A and B are shown apart, each in its own frame.
Chain A
Amino acid sequence: MKNIIIFTLILVSIRCGNDLLNVKAVTVPELYNNIKENNVSSLVLLNIWSTSCIPCIEEFPYIVKLKKRYDINKLDVVFLSTDWEENEADVETFLLSQKVRGQHYRKLEGNTQEFIDDICPSWSGALPFTGIFNKELNLLSFWQGKKDEKYFISKIDSILKIKGEIL
């Protein structure tokens, strides 16, 4: 009986944890370690955004929808905000307004050059940035600037096709 109660409590706490919004300030290595620890997907889509970047805000809702479109075994979507520490509350407010929960990330303030090169040396630094990684977090495809929903879906589908995960 005691074991059943403990097990139920663990399940409830895991469920509640997923329903909570958590924004963690990270470096790129910390971000990658966090993703690797929890990842079960073949592909990881990383979207780098900011509350003060209008194109980022415009494309955000349909990136959220990708989570529902693809099975978690195929694609996970991770958001990383580049907002400054002083705008931490704005990040949470925006994410809540988009009805997203769970683990989110914010760039730890510091060396921006290193941050950009660690993500992708060919990235100019322009926002938004989206990268598609494999399970080992090798970058397979990336683009900078706002794109429409169709572009996202065609990119993801083409990589899944190459990997033989969709016909």
Chain B
Amino acid sequence: MIRILTLCIIAFTLLMSEEISIGSKMPGSDYILKNINGNESELSTFKKENGLLVVFSCNTCPWVIRWQGRYNPISELCSKNDIGFVAVNSNAKQHDGVDSFGSMKEHAKKYEYMFPYVLDSGSRLAKAFGAMVTPHVYLFDKNGDLRYRGAIDDGPKRVKREYLVDAINSVSKGKSVKIQTTKTLGCSIKY
């Protein structure tokens, strides 16, 4: 009996879109994404010499709002280390509502985004990444290999571990990332 149920759980887990693993090449690098500045460009164009940070985000998720204050300083850190930064809104089910292109523009203006914020039409990129939650980050190195995925830090309050900052510092120096994957609570991406 338990075996049957265990098999059901395994089957269910396999059916869920699998998240890309550490060392994987950046998926969907040729996907066209619409930036709030009006430009449409491939994901790969946001990559800089030392890599690319992809942040799955949105306009209303309370966890995104809690971590929102980290976005600009992290984009500056990326810039300083010649790593690209792009925030992606993959909530396709809400692209006609709270996560519409117009709302994304307003959101970016309100929080003074210093980085590109793009619309992932049909959640194609999120599906290619196996991303399921916002906020969630994926850091690729200069070769386009995934070096860190997960939470920004262990906050929101009393932050003890700045996972992403540590990963950016390591990747930019070509060093190995100590903590490569983490998890955090957040909103489900609305495919």
Residues of A within 8 A of B (CB): 50, 52-53, 55, 82, 84, 109, 111-113, 115-117, 122-128, 134, 138-146, 159, 162-163
Contact = CB atoms under 8 A, between A and B. Distances in A.
Nearest to A145: B188
Interface residues of B, number: 25
B9 A126 contact: no
B1 A162 contact: yes
Interface centre among A50, A52, A111 (most CB of B within 10 A): A52
Contacts of B9: 139-142
Given A126-B187, A143-B12, 7 more contacts: A52-B62, A112-B183, A113-B151, A125-B133, A140-B9, A141-B8, A142-B9
A50 B186 CA distance: 10
B182 interface: yes
B187 A162 contact: no
A107 to B, nearest CB: 8
Interface centre among A50, A126, A139 (most CB of B within 10 A): A126
B182 A113 contact: yes
A117 B62 contact: no
A126 B1 contact: no
Given A53-B62, A141-B9, A125 B1 contact: no
B183 A55 contact: no
B5 A125 contact: no
Contacts of A124: 19, 132-133, 183
A123 B62 CA distance: 19
Contacts of B76: none
Nearest to B189: A126
B187 A53 contact: yes
A142 B10 CA distance: 11
A134 B2 CA distance: 10
B143 to A, nearest CB: 26
Contacts of B8: 140-141
B13 A122 contact: yes
Given A141-B5, A162-B4, A162-B5, A125 B185 contact: yes
Contacts of B133: 124-126
A115 to B, nearest CB: 8
Contact of B186 (A122, A126, A134): A126
A96 B36 CA distance: 42
A116 to B, nearest CB: 5
Contacts of B189: 126
Interface in B1-30: 1-2, 4-5, 8-9, 12-13, 16, 19
A125 B2 contact: no
A50 B62 contact: yes
Interface string B154-191: 10110000000000000000000000001111111100
B136 to A, nearest CB: 8
B2 A138 contact: yes
